[in-house]
Amino acid sequence: MAGPAKTSERSISLFLLGLLAFSPPMLLIFGGEASILGIPSLYAYLFGAWIVLIALVRILAERARPNERPRPPPRPEPR
Amino acid sequence: MLKGWVVLLASIAYLCALFAIAYYGDKRADRGRSLIANPYIYALSIAVYCTSWTFYGSVGRAAASGIDFLTIYLGPTLTFVAWWFVLRKILRISKAHRITSIADFISSRYGKSTVLGGLVTVIAVVGIMPYISLQLKAVSTSFRLLLEYPAIVMPKTEYVPHFLGDTALLVAGCMAAFSILFGTRHIDASEHHEGMVAAIAFESIVKLVAFLAVGIFVTFGLYGGFGDLFAKAAVKPELAKLLVVDAGAYGQWVTLAVLSMAAIICLPRQFQVTVVENVDEDHLRKAVWLFPLYLLAINIFVLPIAFAGMMQFPAGNVDADTFVLTVPMAAKQESLALFAYIGGLSAATAMVIVATVALSTMVCNDLVMPVLLRIKALHLQERGDLSGLLLAIRRGSIIGIVMLGYLYFRFIGQSVTLVSIGLVSFAAAAQFAPAILGGIYWRGATRLGALAGLSAGFLVWAYTLLLPSFARSGWLPLDFVRDGAFGIAHLRPYELFGLGGLDHMTHALFWSMLANVGLYVAVSLFSRQGAVERIQAALFVDVFRWSGERGSQFWRGTATVSDLQALVVRFIGKRRADRAFSDYARSRRLNLSKVPEADAQLVNFAERLLAGAIGAASARVMVSTVAKAEIISIDEVMKILDETSQVIEYSHQLEQKGQELERASAELREANARLQELDRLKDDFLSTVSHELRTPLTSIRSFTEILFDNPELALGERERFLGIIAKESERLTRLINQTLDLAKMEAGRMEWQMERVNPKAVVEDAVAATGGLFEERGIHLDLQLPLRLPMVYADRDRLMQVLVNLISNAADYCDEADGRVSVWSSARQDQVTVGVGDNGPGIPRSVQTQIFEKFQQADTPRRGRTGGTGLGLTICRQIVEHFGGTIGVESRPGKGAQFVFSLPTAAALEHGGAGDGRRQAIRWLIPAAGRRLGFKRKRRVPAE
């Protein structure tokens, strides 16, 4: 179980990682005519990165503490 | 097979199954055994995102532009990756405020603004209309395709069937019926439609399985797997180019990703299933990976089907949007084709159902009700049960929305491909993103800012996307697109202000977001928030910091309980209202019948109950009619908010600092307590010492005065008085010496001449030194010493002092008539023990422990020269303990007393073991404080 602060850091990092993985420069790297096991490299890369991202979100989400307890609200001065 | 009636029957059977599931889901919910209360159903219901646009349109887009169809699914995946910051927060806020729709959310955030809610509703209805028509188009097209089997003939676009014979209309009618039955069964404060969600989840399974079935058949049935299919495709140049993307094409990639990232939250139907229909916040934790996994699964076979279709129909006479259906048809797989058709139908119906329910709620709560409530002539405020009216409005708007969608499809949507219709809707929904994201993270965003941003974004969207699509359908002159409005080239909708070279979508997204975000920020910065706005902003932005009783502190309202209850009953019905109020009363241990005046909390509770049924804005209006609930003044709001936010902001730091302070102050307290103890002991010591000094001084002075005043005093008297004076002076000297000794020892300034000492010799010397005393008083001394005693490590003179003190004490206190004193010694277990006993009256048990304390005497001596100082035994103990030994007394009243002390042998000390414990046990005057304050005692460690 990770605390809210830790989960926040991990979420942001993972989101940025996702942005990077699906950013045009990365796609250009894999956008050539090469193929992996007969599957075009761009196609293989996108699905591979996608499944890895999903696996990481799963790990992150299952480890996150469900919900922090909200604090009681401050009470106004009695008038 | 695949005759018209078969397809029709299958469709009807499927829809019946859907109704049955929804009915069953609602029944289960009524019995309190929810069918949908698990994260898997929740994730599947979110998959309503995959409409017929996904089912048919993805393949079409893949065939036209390759891999970029994936962006529509990668975007939502990224949004779900960021769930912790966006979805989780929206969910929490919506639960706290009983949000019923995306319009309600935005209106509630910006001060429960009716105008804003209405604007969002209008944008949503206008923006989603093309999307609904797209579903109808897909169903209609696929149905007509199947009818032509075994021929594969594209339905003619100009073919317009008679209204009554149009399958699209039939399907639209069925969907409207479904939405009315399961989306508007009753007005519920929680706005959950369990039956509908169950049916949607089922549809998600059907469309996924259908698509996978087609994909697997194509990839492994028609071809020998992925490798074979891609290898065959790579040979054809027009297919090979789809796999290789040049850098220029990625502008659109980014546009589509951004649009879809926003759409997964901002589309009204996604907001409905993800936020409003959510029954348990914790389900989100599973859905965040299950839903992207679903998207991945449904996309794996898109490209293979697209390639297969292009290879099967090389002539290009078959629309790529229909490959999912036409490829199995061409392979004579009738049942697979039928299954694919049902899959497409399920994708379409799910979308239409949820979208119409979501939109009808918005139209009712944020558009129609606020207007009706404001029209005084209708006297709505005085009418009884309004839940019937609410339901009627919702049902009417469902029919209206579906019909509008159908009309759009008939008159406009025929000419455009599926994907471009869908994207127009995405771009409309994306206009909500700034107001939502800004609303949950930027406290300063104002109602006017949101209004300006939304209106501007919507207008630009309409001008750059919607109107041109009208023009291309012949509803507007094409000159408008070609030459711009009024013939002004700078107003060309696809090249606004001369911005050319971009695809239409990127162009529209750029301009609309520029207008939207720009005005939203700028107007927010230069406008002021009202009181309600400010409160709502704080409640939204800081949702995780406030507890359940949100907002009640800001209202100073009073109303009678019965008025409030009656108001709620009018909207959500008597049974539900009564239950809600009694739950409220029970949770607070109140008896509402005995509390005539509702407090601010109850008013707030009632308002939230109403908000769940009719939206925040209308609820505010309604409650204000019965409650004199006035918001506290803006100054007070500011004060509470500022104080609160500051407190919250700094409380964490303060907490940490507070803990450090607490530790430090605890140490200080401890030190202070020790100092006070030290001070007290010093005072005690001083007062006791001065008292002890005064006694002999007083007697010396008084006898001296007698002698001085009476020179004729008899010689005998005079000698006696002088003797007393001498004795008292002697005692005074001894007292001062001993006090000094003790002070030195306690301060650690005593000079100790530690060495190996033979205890036997010291005892013998001490006995010899006090020998005169015994002879003088006729006391019998019994000395018992072994032949040899082991050496001890001590200061010889001090050890002598201890023995002389104990022996002379014994002489002072022993029996007057037949005085007996015994001195003995023995050696055992690494220690030497010396005892000095007398046969005097003994020491009562109660004072045995006290006699070693300063100025504590058990009794006045029976005989003796001077009387004790009360310091002798204290000094003895200090000395013995300094040597690492212990001293004690054994006595029974009437049987004499025996003082015994033990010292560790020098050998034991050198071996380090036995003596250590005793050395540790040395008692200082103020042990802990002395060490803490840095008083170091000189203690010489044995050198050998």
**CB-nearest partner of A19 from B78, B228, B247:** B78
Question: Tell me, what DSSP letter sits at residue B517?
Answer: H
Residue from B42, B68, B78, B88 to probe the interface with A (highest A Cβ count within 10 Å): B78
Question: Tell me, what DSSP letter sits at residue B68?
Answer: G
Summarised one tens digit per residue, pLDDT across range B816-864 is 788 888 899 988 878 899 999 988 888 887 777 777 777 666 555 444 4
Burial class (CB in 10 A: 0-12, 13-18, 19+), B228: middle
List helix spans (H) across A1-79.
4-21, 24-30, 41-63
Q: Which amino acid is at B585?
A: A
Q: Which residues of B touch A14 (CB under 8 A)?
A: 81
Q: Which residues of B touch A19 (CB under 8 A)?
A: 78
Residue from A71, A75, A77 to probe the interface with B (highest B Cβ count within 10 Å): A71
Summarised one tens digit per residue, pLDDT across range B228-284 is 888 888 887 777 777 766 666 777 888 889 999 999 999 999 999 999 888 888 888
The C-alpha atoms of residue B685 and residue B501 are separated, in whole angstroms, by 99
Pick left, alpha or beta for residue B33 (phi over 0 → left; psi -120 to 50 → alpha; otherwise beta): beta
Cα–Cα distance list, B108 to B366, B535, B609, B617, B618 (Å): 11, 10, 14, 7, 10
B285 vs A61: CB contact, 8 Å cut-off?
yes
Burial class (CB in 10 A: 0-12, 13-18, 19+), B705: exposed
Find the range with the poorest average confidence among B8-17, B188-197, B339-348, B451-460.
B188-197
Contact B136, B172 (CB under 8 A): yes
The C-alpha atoms of residue A40 and residue A24 are separated, in whole angstroms, by 17
Contact B475, B130 (CB under 8 A): no
Cα–Cα distance list, B865 to B118, B233, B800, B869 (Å): 111, 127, 20, 12
Tokens 């009562």, residue located? B844
Q: Which residues of A touch B544 (CB under 8 A)?
A: 68, 70
**Alpha carbon of A71: minimum distance to chain B alpha carbons (Å):** 5
A11 vs B282: CB contact, 8 Å cut-off?
no
Q: Which of residues 61-80 of B touch A (CB under 8 A)?
A: 67, 70-71, 74, 77-78, 80
pLDDT band at residue B76 under the 50/70/90 scheme: very high
A31 CB within 8 Å of a chain B CB = yes
Of all residues in chain B, the one with the smallest CA distance to A79 is B556
Q: Which residues of A touch B231 (CB under 8 A)?
A: 38
Find the range with the poorest average confidence among B237-241, B429-433, B502-506, B666-670.
B237-241
Find the range with the poorest average confidence among B308-317, B637-646, B934-943.
B934-943
pLDDT of B153 > 60? The answer is yes
Contacts for B882 with CB less than 8 Å, ≥ 6 apart: B745, B752, B798, B922, B939
**Alpha carbon of B545: minimum distance to chain A alpha carbons (Å):** 5
Question: Tell me, what DSSP letter sits at residue B849?
Answer: T
Nearest to B764 by CA among B784, B779, B780: B784
Contacts for B575 with CB less than 8 Å, ≥ 6 apart: none
Q: Which of residues 166-185 of B touch A (CB under 8 A)?
A: none
Of all residues in chain A, the one with the smallest CA distance to B538 is A73
Mean pLDDT, chain B, rounded, equals: 80
The C-alpha atoms of residue B169 and residue B173 are separated, in whole angstroms, by 6
Q: Which residues of B touch A76 (CB under 8 A)?
A: 553, 632, 636, 640
Residue from B289, B302, B604, B643 to probe the interface with A (highest A Cβ count within 10 Å): B289
CA atoms within 13 A on the CB side of B28: 17
Contact B896, B765 (CB under 8 A): no
Backbone angles phi, psi at B713, to 5 degrees: -60, 145
Mean pLDDT of B560-589: 78
**Distance of alpha carbon A30 from the chain centroid:** 21
Here the tokens at position B378 are 């209708």
In this prediction, residue B165 carries a pLDDT of 61
**CB-nearest partner of A75 from B71, B82, B553:** B553
Q: How many CB atoms lie within 10 A of CB B158?
A: 7
Contact B262, B49 (CB under 8 A): no
- Rounded to two decimals, the ipTM of the complex is 0.85
The C-alpha atoms of residue B504 and residue B468 are separated, in whole angstroms, by 10
Residue from A28, A45, A52, A54 to probe the interface with B (highest B Cβ count within 10 Å): A54
**Alpha carbon of A29: minimum distance to chain B alpha carbons (Å):** 10
**CB-nearest partner of A39 from B230, B245, B644:** B230
**CB-nearest partner of B81 from A35, A53, A74:** A53
Q: How many CB atoms lie within 10 A of CB B16?
A: 11
**Alpha carbon of B368: minimum distance to chain A alpha carbons (Å):** 35
Q: For the CA atoms of chain B, what is the radius of gyration?
A: 50
Summarised one tens digit per residue, pLDDT across range B27-39 is 888 787 777 788 8
A19 vs B244: CB contact, 8 Å cut-off?
no
A22 vs B544: CB contact, 8 Å cut-off?
no
Angle at B327 between CA B321 and CA B332, to 5 degrees: 145
Q: Which residues, given as ranges, of chain A have pLDDT below 70?
A: 1-3, 33, 65-79
Q: Which amino acid is at B629?
A: A
Residue from A17, A33, A41, A53 to probe the interface with B (highest B Cβ count within 10 Å): A53
In this prediction, residue B548 carries a pLDDT of 46
A76 vs B303: CB contact, 8 Å cut-off?
no
Summarised one tens digit per residue, pLDDT across range B620-640 is 777 777 765 555 555 666 665
B297 CB within 8 Å of a chain A CB = no
B220 CB within 8 Å of a chain A CB = no
Here the tokens at position B267 are 């589309």
Backbone angles phi, psi at B184, to 5 degrees: -135, 45
Q: How many CB atoms lie within 10 A of CB B723?
A: 11
Is the preceding omega at residue B268 within 30 degrees of 0, hence cis? no
The C-alpha atoms of residue B257 and residue B359 are separated, in whole angstroms, by 25
Residue B905: strand pairing partners:
B792
Burial class (CB in 10 A: 0-12, 13-18, 19+), B115: middle
> Between A and B, how many CB-CB pairs are < 8 A?
130
B247 vs A24: CB contact, 8 Å cut-off?
yes
**Alpha carbon of B47: minimum distance to chain A alpha carbons (Å):** 16
Contact B525, B438 (CB under 8 A): no
In this prediction, residue B436 carries a pLDDT of 92
**DSSP 3-state of A65:** coil
Q: Give, to the nearest 10 degrees, the angle between helix B574-587 and helix B600-614.
A: 140
**DSSP 3-state of B130:** helix
**Alpha carbon of B192: minimum distance to chain A alpha carbons (Å):** 22
Of all residues in chain B, the one with the smallest CA distance to A46 is B70
**DSSP 3-state of B780:** strand
Contacts for B43 with CB less than 8 Å, ≥ 6 apart: B283, B286, B287, B290, B291, B294
In this prediction, residue B144 carries a pLDDT of 81
Q: How many CB atoms lie within 10 A of CB B911?
A: 12
Tokens 């606020």, residue located? B370
**Alpha carbon of A20: minimum distance to chain B alpha carbons (Å):** 11
A32 vs B231: CB contact, 8 Å cut-off?
no
Q: For the CA atoms of chain A, what is the radius of gyration?
A: 21
CA atoms within 13 A on the CB side of B897: 23
- The percent of residues in chain B predicted with pLDDT above 90, rounded, is 13
Backbone angles phi, psi at B534, to 5 degrees: -65, -40
Tokens 């004499």, residue located? B896
Q: Which amino acid is at B707?
A: L
What is the full DSSP assignment across B705-744?
Answer: HHHHH-TT--HHHHHHHHHHHHHHHHHHHHHHHHHHHHHH
What is the full DSSP assignment across B560-624?
Answer: EHHHHHHHHHHHH-HHHHHHHHHHHHHHTT--GGG--EE-HHHHHHHHHHHHHHH-HHHHHHHHH
Summarised one tens digit per residue, pLDDT across range B885-939 is 889 888 887 788 889 999 888 887 777 544 444 444 333 333 333 333 333 333 3
Here the tokens at position B241 are 């180019």
Contact A49, B70 (CB under 8 A): no
A73 vs B549: CB contact, 8 Å cut-off?
yes
Beta strand B897-904 with B886-891: parallel, antiparallel or unpaired? antiparallel
Q: Which residues of B touch A49 (CB under 8 A)?
A: none
Q: Give, to the nearest 10 degrees, the angle between helix B114-147 and helix B447-461.
A: 30
**CB-nearest partner of B243 from A7, A43, A75:** A43
Contact B794, B721 (CB under 8 A): no
Q: What is the dihedral of CA A20, A21, A27, A31, to 10 degrees?
A: 150
Summarised one tens digit per residue, pLDDT across range B154-164 is 766 555 555 55
A26 CB within 8 Å of a chain B CB = no
Q: Which residues of B touch A27 (CB under 8 A)?
A: 245, 250, 253
A57 vs B81: CB contact, 8 Å cut-off?
yes
**Distance of alpha carbon B725 from the chain centroid:** 84
More confident residue, B533 or B864: B533
Contacts for B66 with CB less than 8 Å, ≥ 6 apart: B241, B242, B243, B245
B638 CB within 8 Å of a chain A CB = no
Mean pLDDT of B205-221: 92
B271 CB within 8 Å of a chain A CB = no
pTM over 0.90: no
